Structure 1
Amino acid sequence: MAGSGPDVVIVTGGSRGIGAAIALRAARAGYAVVVNYSADADGAAAVVGTILAGGGSALAVRADVGDPDAVTALFDAARALGPLAAVVNNAGITGNLIGPLAEVPAATVRRVLEVNAAGLIFVCQEAVRRLSRDRGGRGGSIINISSTATKAGSPGTWVHYAASKGAVDVLTVGLAAEVATQGIRVNCVAPGSTNTGLHAAAGMPDRVERLNSTIPMGRGAEPDEVAAAVLWLLSAEAGYITGAVLPVSGGR
Structure 2
Amino acid sequence: MRQLTIVTGGSRGIGAAICARLAADGHDVVVGYASDATAAEAVATTVRETGRRSLAVRVDTSDEGDVDRLFDAAAELGTVTGLVNNAGVSGPNGPLAEADADGMRRALEVNVLGYLLCARRAVRDMTRSGGGAVVNVSSAAATLGSPGQYVHYAAAKAAVDTMTVGLSKEVAADGIRVNCVAPGVIWTDFHADPQRPGKMAATIPMGRAGQPEEIAGAVSWLLSGDASFATGTIMRVAGGM
| TM-score normalised by the chain length of structure 1 | 0.94
1:170 maps to 162
Whether the 8 Å contact between 1:6 and 1:81 is mirrored in structure 2 is no
- How far is the alpha carbon of 1:50 from its aligned partner? 1.4
In structure 2, the gaps of 5 or more residues are: none
**Equivalent position to 1:103, from 98, 105, 109:** 98
1:68 maps to 64
Alignment pair present for 1:14 and 2:10: yes
For 1:239 and 1:52, the matched residues in 2 are separated by 27
- How far is the alpha carbon of 1:159 from its aligned partner? 0.7
- How far is the alpha carbon of 1:26 from its aligned partner? 0.5
For 1:6 and 1:15, the matched residues in 2 are separated by 23
In structure 1, the gaps of 5 or more residues are: none
- How far is the alpha carbon of 1:102 from its aligned partner? 1.1
Runs (4 or more) in structure 1 with deviation over 2 Å come to none
Q: What is the identity percentage for the equivalent residue pairs of Structure 1 and Structure 2?
A: 52
Alignment pair present for 1:142 and 2:137: no
Whether the 8 Å contact between 2:79 and 2:129 is mirrored in structure 1 is no
For 2:119 and 2:50, the matched residues in 1 are separated by 30
2:179 maps to 187
**Equivalent position to 1:242, from 227, 231, 237:** 231
Equivalent position amino acid for 1:207 in 2: R
- How far is the alpha carbon of 1:54 from its aligned partner? 2.7
Equivalent position amino acid for 1:116 in 2: N
For 1:65 and 1:213, the matched residues in 2 are separated by 35
1:79 maps to 75
2:88 maps to 92
1:153 maps to 145
For 1:50 and 1:34, the matched residues in 2 are separated by 12
**Equivalent position to 2:21, from 25, 29, 41:** 25
**Two-structure CA RMSD over aligned residues (Å):** 1.0
Equivalent position amino acid for 2:200 in 1: L
1:216 maps to 205
